[in-house]
Amino acid sequence: MVLLTLREKVYGPAERRSLNAFQKTLSSFSSGIEAKVEVLGKTEQGWIQVEVSGSDSVITINYLNQKFGLTSSSLEELKVPSELPGKIVDSAMIGYGLYVDVGISMPQQIDVLIPLYTLRRQLFNDEKLSIRKIIDVFCLHDNFPLKIKLTRIDAEKSKMEAELSGTQLKTFKDWISLGLDRVIVLGANINQIEYAIKRSESARDVIRIDQLGLLEHSLICKRGSEAPGIINRLGHFLPKIPLHAFIPKKVLSLTKP
C-alpha cells in the first residue's frame, strides 16, 4: 500500500459530496486494472490523500501524478528555478503579496510568497497598485489555483519566494485578450455548477465551463453578458460558494499602455 497526497484540495460546504464524487471517478479508472484507490480524506491543509494498493499500483500512481500531481512534503525536495502548481491561501490577511500553498508540511507548513512588487511587475507593468486591487481584478482569492516559478528558497529561515510562471501569465493574457467576462467559482464541483446554471436559467449567458481544479472553475460569459449579473442568479443555487467576476475591461483600465 502507498499513501499519496494529491495536488487537489477539498473544502467548503460541498466537501463530503466532492470527496464521494472523486472516489467514484478514481474507482472508475481502476476498474480495469489490478489496483485499488481509496480516498482517505484530506490533510490539515486540505490536500486530498489516497491509498493505492494492488499489483498495478505503479501504473495507477503514474496516472494520478499525471492527472492531478503529487505534493512535495519537504522543502528539501524543491529546487530553484522550478515550476509547480499551488493554491492561494490567506489572501485577505496580508498587504505585501500573495501566499501560495504548494503542499510543504515538513518540518512545518511553509507557503510560498509572491511579493507585491513581483505581481505589479508581471501583471501591471510596475503600476503601483495595492495587493487588494490586484486580488480583486484577477480574482486571486483563497483556493484559486496558480502555477508559479520558484525564485528563492531559504531553508534556514523556512522561506520561499516565487513569481507567476510563464504558463500562468499566458492564461491571464488569453483571458484578457478574449475580452469576455468570466465567473470564477471556488468550491463547487462540476455537477453543482451545471445544476445551478440550469436552475438559474443562465445557460444562455455561459459559453463554456473551464475546469481550473477539482473545485475551481471558470465560466466564460457570452459577449454582452456581464459576470456580476450572472453571479446574482447563480448565488441562489450555490449558497456559501465564493463567486467572483473577472472583467477584462477592468484589468485593462488599470494597466499602463
188 in the same domain as 156: no
pLDDT tens, position by position, 176-199: 999 999 999 999 999 999 999 999
CA angle, corner 207, sides to 226 and 144, nearest 5? 70
Domain count, the chain: 3
92 in the same domain as 53: no
The model's confidence at residue 257, banded by pLDDT at 50, 70 and 90, is low
How much is the average pLDDT of 150-173?
Answer: 94
pLDDT tens, position by position, 49-95: 999 998 889 988 998 999 898 987 777 778 888 899 999 999 978 78
Q: Which residues, including other chains, have CB under 8 Å from residue 97's CB and lie 6 or more apart?
A: 113, 114, 115, 116, 118, 119, 131
pTM (two decimals): 0.92
161 in the same domain as 201: no
Give me the percent of the chain exceeding a pLDDT of 70: 98
Which position has the higher pLDDT, 165 or 73?
A: 165
Torsion of the alpha carbons at 162, 164, 166 and 169, rounded to the nearest 10? -170
Containing structural domain, residue 88: 75-171
Mean pLDDT highest for which of 38-47, 91-100, 171-180? 171-180
198 in the same domain as 131: no
Check which CATH number belongs to the domain holding 230 and give it: 3.30.70
Q: Cell numbers of 154, please?
A: 531559504
164 in the same domain as 94: yes
CA atoms of 53 and 104, how far apart (whole Å): 25
From 31, 49, 67, the end of a domain falls on 67
